[in-house]
Structure 1
């Protein structure tokens, strides 16, 4: 199988550049493998959740950490942010259609963890 040549930073095409591309597992882990990221996704599985409620559910994470993860997930189209009220500000988060596909990975991990009592 012949690989497509990817251009380097200077626009040169070389098949050698392909060896520096992360494997599919690494690319997936970059999306959902960060600290608290998968927990945020999992807590949104049943529908929209307000920010404060999500903070209560993830009591071990700081509000700043949760906010950072939500922003990252919003940028990657895994989570949708909805402003419910301007004053006082009320925001809810929910999984996008793409975000729900992450549960196809996370649910087997949950089952594996429970099965092995980890």
Structure 2
């Protein structure tokens, strides 16, 4: 009985992760942020077919999930950058396997 409940929780978590990662553009947004923080316009430049409205929605979802953090830099002019949290960095490490697979098979 306990095993079934643990299995249900695991399945639920896996389903949540696939639901988030399965959304269009999420993987590419994470890919652009994996090496260094980027401004909104830089992310948009890296993914030219992504509308600014959808980019804004996806970044909000990633922020709400604790994967991306918004950093306001109080220099002149004030800038906003997006970077990966520890949770996001660990996720992009896992996504590296997909990158390697794509290089080999696609």
| Structure 2 residues without counterparts, runs of 5 or longer | none
Match of 2:18 among 20, 29, 54: 29
Contact 1:32 1:102 in 2 (8 A): no
Bigger Rg over Cα:
1
Distance 2:79 2:53 in 1: 16
Greater fraction helix = 2
Please name the residue that 2:96 is paired with. Answer: 107
Please name the residue that 2:51 is paired with. Answer: 62
Please name the residue that 2:2 is paired with. Answer: 2
TM-score (norm 1): 0.75
C-alpha RMSD of matched pairs (Å): 2.5
Instruction: Report deviation, 1:91.
Output: 1.4
Alignment coverage as a number of residue pairs: 104
Distance 1:108 1:79 in 2: 20
| Structure 1 residues without counterparts, runs of 5 or longer | 6-17
1:73 and 2:62 are equivalent in the alignment: yes
TM-score (norm 2): 0.83
